[in-house]
Amino acid sequence: MLTGANANLAQHLASRPATAFRVPCSIQLQQKPARASFYGTKRSQRPRLAHNDDVQKQSFARAVGKGLSCRTTDVALPIRTRPARRQCIVRAASSAASPGTSPAQAAPESAKPPYYLHSWRWRGHKINYAVAGCGPPVVLVHGFGASVGHWRKNIPELAKSHQVLAIDLLGQGASDKPLLEDGYSMELWGELLSDFLAEFTSGSKPVLVGNSVGSLACLLANSKLPEGGLAGTILINCAGGLNNKAVVDDWRLKLAAPLFWLIDFLLNQPPVARYLFDRFRTRENLRQVLLNVYTDPAAVDDALVELLYGPSCSEGALETFVSIITGPPGPPPSSLMADVKGPLLVLWGDKDVFTPIDGPVGKMFAALPQTRPNTTFQSLPGENHCVHDDNPALVNGVIMKWLDQLR
């Protein structure tokens, strides 16, 4: 979702003095190895969330009850290490019953996400992903702080003619949030996405669709694939980097740079990091952050807030947040374009406050069709950063029309 998390944290500081999902597989999740220490301290000595394990389950349960995709996953959740690539998951928008249950035994219609959830092990870590539909593959990649559920309004439409796969990036959503020796980076997420494509779309030409930092991950994966490896790539309000340190030539970010560096310093102090994180991730603050990146206030409902709040209760959420905010921004989109292949559709809400259309990244993409073939830039008047969830009818229509042209 959010590339400007540190900007919103700065704004926040300035203003202050379920049911387990059944997966048809017999391979059980392996026990996680012990994590390395964080900030040079033992995990038992670190500041902990003031929430027990039930908080996340209750949070996800509330989201599921409102029709979202978030479901609690226990340690015993079976893992599909390599589902059949050609398997078609055909489900209506209201979704079929979970495997092993009859429609009469299934949850109420309002509680069913429009896809099946699975898990995949990547470099020893569990990666959550969703599958729906049948046809040419389309792979959806969310932004920072979001998850597969952020595509819940897009998957049913796309799944009418395509097989849709949506991934929770490592450290996000229901995927594992390990403490990584080298930290989180855009390059890491690009490698994850490349391996995900090789595992589940090998032999076909998928279309990549990303929002915010998910778009940048799509560009990184695209740049590493051979010519003809993708049918196309769709970027929705592409981020300039993993965090706000990426865009150094935007006057707005230059003015805020000292505050961003101060936040980096504070987040590297364990007690301060815990204090700031617990206040940043409150439901009330998350709602305000979402209202800044949505045009329609009605779209920022309790279910959407839970979609972001639930993962913040997970083990490792603080460490992941600190690593992303204080880490390197990664390569800017402009440095990748020479290696990006295939047709490209760029959608941009012209009211985006995180990656403004008149900022350096927006201007670069707006001018790209003049120098790059098979490139379309479409401004979306009155729309904001998360337009795919804010105005799904508009985005679904544009994407489906473009996908039809690829055939």
Average of pLDDT values for 130-139?
97
Beta bridge partners of 121: 126
Average of pLDDT values for 287-315?
97
% of the chain beyond a pLDDT of 90: 62
Residue corresponding to tokens 């987040």: 267
Give the CB-side neighbour count of residue 275, counting CA atoms within 13 A: 10
Beta bridge partners of 167: 129, 141
Rounded to an integer, what distance in angstroms lies between the CA atom of residue 280 and that of residue 6? 10
Rounded to an integer, what distance in angstroms lies between the CA atom of residue 147 and that of residue 125? 16
* 228 SS3 class: coil
Rounded to an integer, what distance in angstroms lies between the CA atom of residue 252 and that of residue 48? 35
Please, what is the average pLDDT of the chain?
78
Average of pLDDT values for 319-331?
92
Q: How many CB atoms lie within 10 A of CB 363?
A: 12
Higher pLDDT, 17 or 212: 212
* 380 SS3 class: strand
- Describe the strand order of the beta sheet including 375-380 as a list of residue ranges: 116-122, 125-132, 163-167, 137-141, 207-211, 232-236, 344-349, 375-380
Predicted pLDDT of residue 258:
62
Predicted pLDDT of residue 96:
33
Average of pLDDT values for 197-201?
97
263 in Cβ contact with 10 (< 8 Å): yes
Predicted pLDDT of residue 113:
84
CB neighbour list of residue 157: distance below 8 Å, 6 or more residues apart: 392, 396, 400
Cα of first residue to Cα of last residue in the chain, in angstroms, is: 30
% of the chain beyond a pLDDT of 70: 68
Higher pLDDT, 27 or 239: 239
Strands 375-380 and 344-349 turn out to be parallel
Q: Which of 8-17, 98-107, 391-400 has the lowest mean pLDDT?
A: 98-107
pLDDT tens for each residue of 260-273: 667 776 787 888 98
The pLDDT of residue 74 is above 70: no
Give the CB-side neighbour count of residue 183, counting CA atoms within 13 A: 14
pLDDT tens for each residue of 341-383: 999 999 999 999 999 999 999 999 999 999 999 999 999 999 9
The pLDDT of residue 257 is above 70: no
Rounded to an integer, what distance in angstroms lies between the CA atom of residue 89 and that of residue 107? 18
Predicted pLDDT of residue 8:
53
Predicted pLDDT of residue 265:
67
The pLDDT of residue 76 is above 50: no
Average of pLDDT values for 180-189?
96
Predicted pLDDT of residue 263:
72
Rounded to an integer, what distance in angstroms lies between the CA atom of residue 246 and that of residue 257? 11
380 in Cβ contact with 349 (< 8 Å): yes
Rounded to an integer, what distance in angstroms lies between the CA atom of residue 14 and that of residue 7? 11
Average of pLDDT values for 58-79?
34
Predicted pLDDT of residue 388:
98
Show the tokens assigned to 341: 């292949």
Predicted pLDDT of residue 48:
38
20 in Cβ contact with 72 (< 8 Å): yes
The pLDDT of residue 33 is above 50: no
Rounded to an integer, what distance in angstroms lies between the CA atom of residue 212 and that of residue 1? 6
Rounded to an integer, what distance in angstroms lies between the CA atom of residue 323 and that of residue 171? 10
Question: Among candidates 114, 109, 207, 102, which has minimal Cα distance to 152?
Answer: 114
Q: What is the pTM of this model?
A: 0.75
Show the tokens assigned to 285: 């603050």
Higher pLDDT, 96 or 379: 379
Res. 287 pLDDT band, cuts 50 70 90: very high
Q: How many CB atoms lie within 10 A of CB 129?
A: 25
Predicted pLDDT of residue 267:
80
Q: Which of 38-47, 151-160, 380-389 has the lowest mean pLDDT?
A: 38-47
Predicted pLDDT of residue 245:
63
pLDDT tens for each residue of 151-168: 999 999 999 999 999 999
Higher pLDDT, 21 or 317: 317
Q: How many CB atoms lie within 10 A of CB 40?
A: 7
